[in-house]
Amino acid sequence: MKNTPLNRRQVVQTLAVAGAGLALGSPARAETKPLEAVKIAPLSSLKKDFDTAEFTFDGDAALLVRLPTLPNDKRRALEVKDNPGKDPTVKEVPAKDPAVKDPLVKEDDTKFYLVAYTRVCTHLGCKPNLPNATEHKMICPCHGSTFAADGSVVKGPAKRSLESIVIEVRGKDVYAVARAAAAQ
């Protein structure tokens, strides 16, 4: 069969088809791979309020914290209710509106809350210290930003709270499953 050179119209059509193929292919390449769930700690290891478990998620240092009350920061939390003699009940709850009650005062002795977040300062990315023993605040060693135990920012220069991580209880263990921003 004789090869004939493509005329200008055929060349344009060929390029258009090739371009469409690339365009169709690009969303798949742009999709982010779902993160693998990471086992953080057994639920039973968080025995008292403000106990913590350090872990790494998606390459970032991160922290799981047991809180006595709902976080102040509208972030997702798991509510855990102790049932004497049985497994605890776990449910996801929306956080309450900011700052009506003292976060250190427990309202219900049978319940506690779990939150997780990255330990990457939202100012310039340093690693805030673990919550201190008295006020349970986390101070960033670089420029002094301060975060509450629920990850919310209480003093700048950081303006944003620590990035929330979605957690689940699977069996007897707590898992990190997604970055909260990506899960919304």
Return residues touching ligand FES (CB under 6 A): 121, 123-126, 140, 142-145, 157-158
- Strands of the sheet with 173-179, listed across from one edge: 38-42, 173-179, 165-170
In the complex with ligand FES, the residue whose CB is nearer, 73 or 169, is 73
Q: Using CA atoms, how far apart are residues 22 and 17, in angstroms rounded to an integer? A: 9
- Tell me the H-state helices in 51-184: 180-183
Smallest distance, ligand FES to C-beta of residue 161, A? 13
In the complex with ligand FES, the residue whose CB is nearer, 141 or 171, is 141
* Residue position matching structure tokens 């263990």: 173
Give the DSSP letter of residue 24. Answer: H
Q: Taking a C-beta distance cutoff of 8 angstroms, is the pair 166, 179 a contact?
A: yes
CA dihedral of 75, 78, 81, 86, whole degrees rounded to 10:
180
Smallest distance, ligand FES to C-beta of residue 75, A? 19
In the complex with ligand FES, the residue whose CB is nearer, 75 or 119, is 119
Cα 120–Cα 48–Cα 118 angle in degrees, nearest 5: 10
Smallest distance, ligand FES to C-beta of residue 159, A? 10
In the complex with ligand FES, the residue whose CB is nearer, 19 or 144, is 144
Smallest distance, ligand FES to C-beta of residue 155, A? 9
In the complex with ligand FES, the residue whose CB is nearer, 94 or 125, is 125
Smallest distance, ligand FES to C-beta of residue 118, A? 13
